[in-house]
Amino acid sequence: MSHLDASRGPARAGVALAILLSFAPRHAAAATAAPDTPAPPAAPAGLVFEDVPNDAGREMDLRWTLSPDDTSGGRRVTGYLLLRAATPGGPWAVVDSVGAGVHEHRDGTLHRDSSYFYRVAAVGPGGRTLAGAAAGPAIARAAWFNSTRGSVLAFMALFFLLVLYYMYMAQSGRKPFVRRLAGIDAIEEAIGRATEMGRPVLYVPGIQDIDEMQTVASLIILESVARITARYETPIRVPVAYPIPFTIAQEMVRSGHINAGRPETFDAKSVSFVSPEQFAYVASLTGIMLRDRPAAHLFLGSFYAESLMLAETGFSTGAIQVAGTANVHQLPFFVVACDYTLIGEELFAASAYLSGEARLVGGLKGADMLKVAIVVVVIVGCVLETMGVHGLTRWMQTQ
Amino acid sequence: MKREIPLFLTAVIGAVMVLGFFMPHPWISVPADFLQQSAVIVVAFGYVLGGANLLRVHLEAISRRERDWPYRIVLVAGLLGTVSVGLFVDGPGFQAQGARTMWIYNNIYAPMNATMFSLLAFFIASAAFRAFRIRTIEAGLLAVAALVVMLGRVPLGDFLARPLTDHAWVPAWLREAPLGTIQQWIMDVPQNAAKRAILIGAAMGVMATGLRVILGIERAYLGGGE
């Protein structure tokens, strides 16, 4: 397979070199053939092809039977050469080469719905020998649906149905009970404390761009946070690492002030672009913490190595700190250094908690129900695997 | 219309991206790839806005002589200097070996970056000191688990623990590498279970947020006003 071959770069380069060397002097060698020149290896046979399923129509799997001379320790075969043509008569072009003992290859350089013919040649010190007949026509077709992702589709459809159902129920007046989360309650408490101390609130939306869903969730929460700070007339500072989240963050803070009924208190400079460079961003934030001494630090979003640097610096300033991330490796740092931590999905639920909007809260219930379904599937899967039934496991595997 | 058009675009583009995951056919995957790659253009414009904001904030602070304003001069000079060297001195080859921007990157930026990163060691030490103060049962369990994992990951841990486990009543599988075996179990079973639970929850949070945005239920990102 091509992905296995790709991991053996130097070995493949060696094979290719050996093959090239075996070809290069072919004409000259014919003219001055020495009596002890080894004979070319016997031809490989049984070349078959199979369109790779569930792809965009660009790949073909090829398999053949090894040359009888391709024996372990033997040196009559150094590799195989794969040739491709648009017609059975050629012209043939070399597609790729593989080492001795390899009997399969994935050709990933095809055009969709085009016909191809393949031949395979064994190559050795004595020359090359082509397999007798060309295999073909091989036509790579594009699949409309990746059937290995059927389980994902099923769970996604179930999830969407549950979320939509509970949203509808919540809108109909049956708002589900939602347990309060200490971390989310602490956000308002932290802002209140900053107000009492007359100091700003520092909101950090993580160090990832807008294509990271944690950044999206954080920016949605920012609107609620900005609304509270506007209501309390407390300044907020939002340093942002990437330009697109920066523009959205500006809009969110403005939106928070408008929704709080205080559009005139919005300060465009409260949201600032810093740098997408990780430690330049850290330097800027720690500078803000140490110079301006915000009374509340809210770290909500995607964080990496900088998480502990920010949280520890913030801890040293005595600020109340609330963090939230779905990056599991950073959670311990936040748990240690912050007063409250939103763990994983709590970050995504925070906007629904803070807004209290029925439709958003209904969505939380739908997510919880899917978790129940996943737990059931995990238990059933364990039982079936123990009994030697692998159907469910296979269905859950994706490519 | 200020809200309807972005909502419509979000719904359509979101649907194409979701379909692209399930449908490899070029009729779907090519537009999905194109949309993903087009984001680069939007980001490029975003950098112009970001750079303008950076200059505006710091130049205003310098003109008002706000606290620590000389540091802001360093920042603005660094920004303008690097951009000028890249644009007017190096040109298109600004990333080539020997380019002046690469010299700035390797000799000014990279050492400062490494300096910041190296501070992490000290932050870990101070955080670990607080984390391992045993005040509750949970903190005690954490400290013991951490001690076992840390010792179990180095040969010295097993060397020290072997005399304690070198008895007939200790199972054979535990005798050879006692701490190493226990730490591996901690990492593979309780740690992995907790991590996977968090990841499954987070993945559903991602899906829920995506669904809310695509369906227009979550529209805070559109900003205030109509």
Phi, psi at residue A241, to the nearest 5°? -85, -30
Q: In the numeric block, which tokens belong to residue B15?
A: 């649907």
Other C-beta atoms within 10 Å of A127: how many? Answer: 18
State the average pLDDT for chain A. 85
| Number of C-beta neighbours around residue A371 at 10 A | 16
Element (H, E) at A79: strand A79-85
Structure tokens at B82: 């690097």
B22 CB neighbours in chain A (<8 A) are 145-146, 149, 152-153
Interface probe for B, chosen from A312, A330, A353, A371 (most Cβ of B below 10 Å), is A312
The conformation of residue A145, written as its DSSP 8-state character, comes to S
Tens digit of each residue's pLDDT (9 = 90 or more) over A46-88: 889 999 998 888 999 999 988 888 877 767 888 899 999 999 8
Are residues B220 and A167, on separate chains, in Cβ contact within 8 Å?
no
Residues whose CB is less than 8 angstroms from the CB of residue A259 and which lie 6 or more positions away in sequence, other chains included: A223, A227, B224
Q: Please indicate if any CB of chain A lies within 8 Å of the CB of B199.
A: yes
Q: Contact A215/A208 with Cβ under 8 angstroms?
A: yes
The predicted pLDDT at position A2 comes to 37
pLDDT tens, residue by residue, B28-66: 988 998 988 888 888 888 888 888 988 998 999 999 998
| pLDDT greater than 60 at residue A29 | no
A38-47, B74-83, B167-176 — which one is most confidently predicted on average? Answer: B74-83
Rounded alpha-carbon distances, angstroms, from residue A389 to A376, A386, A392: 16, 7, 8
Q: Does the structure show a pLDDT above 80 at A22? A: no
A306-325 pLDDT, tens digit per residue, is 999 999 999 999 999 999 99
Q: What is the mean pLDDT of residues A209-228?
A: 90
CB A95 within 8 A of CB A82: yes
- pLDDT tier at A17, thresholds 50, 70, 90: very low
Q: Are A359 and B217 in contact (CB under 8 A)?
A: yes
- Restricting to B residues 124-143, those with a Cβ less than 8 Å away from any Cβ of A are 124, 126-128, 130-131
CB pairs under 8 A between A and B: 193
- Rounded to whole angstroms, how far apart are CA atoms A300 and B185? 32
Rounded average pLDDT over A364-368 = 82
Residues with Cβ within 8 Å of residue A302, at least 6 apart in sequence: A206, A207, A208, A212, A214, A215, A218, A325, A326, A327
Query: CB of A276 within 8 A of CB of A306?
Result: no
Angle made by CA atoms A335, A337, A340, in degrees to the nearest 5: 50
E strands, A93-243, in order: 93-99, 104-107, 115-124, 127-130, 135-139, 201-206, 236-240
Between residues B204 and B182, the one the model is more confident about: B182
Of all residues in chain B, the percent with pLDDT exceeding 90 is 31
Query: Which pLDDT band, with edges at 50, 70 and 90, does A36 fall under?
Result: low
* pLDDT of amino acid B203: 87
pTM of the model: 0.79
DSSP state of B153: T
Q: Is the pLDDT of residue B74 over 70?
A: yes
Residue contact A254–B223, C-beta within 8 A:
yes
Highest mean pLDDT among A76-85, A192-201, B120-129, B159-168 belongs to: A192-201
User: In which band, very low, low, confident or very high, does the pLDDT at A294 lie, cut at 50, 70 and 90?
Assistant: very high
At A32, the pLDDT band (50, 70, 90 cuts) reads: very low
- Identify all chain A residues contacting B212, using CB atoms and an 8 Å cutoff: 360, 363
Could you tell me if B193 lies within 8 Å of chain A, comparing CB atoms?
A: no
> Which candidate from A56, A247, A351 shows the least CB-CB separation from B49?
A247
| ipTM score of complex | 0.85
pLDDT at B142: 86
The angle subtended at Cα A139 by Cα A133 and Cα A141, nearest 5°, is 155
Residue A25 pLDDT level (bands cut at 50, 70, 90)? very low
Residue B80: pLDDT band by 50, 70, 90 thresholds?
very high
Mean pLDDT (whole number) for A364-393? 90
CB A94 within 8 A of CB A82: yes
d(CA A190, CA A229): 10
Task: Say yes or no: B218 contacts chain A, CB-CB below 8 A.
Answer: yes
Measured CA to CA, the distance from residue A209 to residue A301 in angstroms comes to 10
Q: Do B26 and A57 touch (CB under 8 A)?
A: yes
Per-residue pLDDT, A21: 41
Q: Tell me the C-alpha distance between A349 and B44, whole Å.
A: 31
Residue A40: per-residue pLDDT: 82
* Residues pairing with A82 in the sheet: A96, A120
CA of A182: how far to CAs of A179, A236, A350, A365, A366, in Å?
Answer: 10, 22, 11, 19, 22
DSSP state of B91: G
Q: DSSP letters of A229-257?
A: HHHHT--EEEEESSHHHHHHHHHHHHHHH
Region A128-134 average pLDDT: 81
Share of chain B above pLDDT 70, in %: 96
Residue B53's SS3 state is helix
Q: Report DSSP state, residue B89.
A: I
C-alpha count within 13 angstroms, C-beta hemisphere, residue B68: 10
The pLDDT value recorded for residue A35 is 53
Q: Is the pLDDT score of A28 beyond 60?
A: no
Distance between CA atoms of A197 and B161, rounded to whole angstroms?
Answer: 52
pLDDT higher than 60, residue A7: no
Chain A residues in contact with B23 (beta carbon < 8 A): 143-146
* Nearest CB to A371 within list B56, B199, B201: B201
Q: What is the pLDDT of residues A172-214, one digit of tens each?
A: 888 777 778 888 889 999 999 999 999 999 999 999 998 888 9
Residue B161 pLDDT greater than 90, yes or no = no
- Give the pLDDT confidence of B186-212 residue by residue, as tens digits: 999 999 999 998 998 888 888 888 888
Predicted confidence at residue B221, as pLDDT, reads 66
User: In whole numbers, what is the pLDDT of chain B averaged over residues?
Assistant: 87
Which tokens is B190 given?
């309780």
- Separation of alpha carbons A16 and A190, rounded Å: 65
By three-state DSSP, how is residue A62 classified? strand
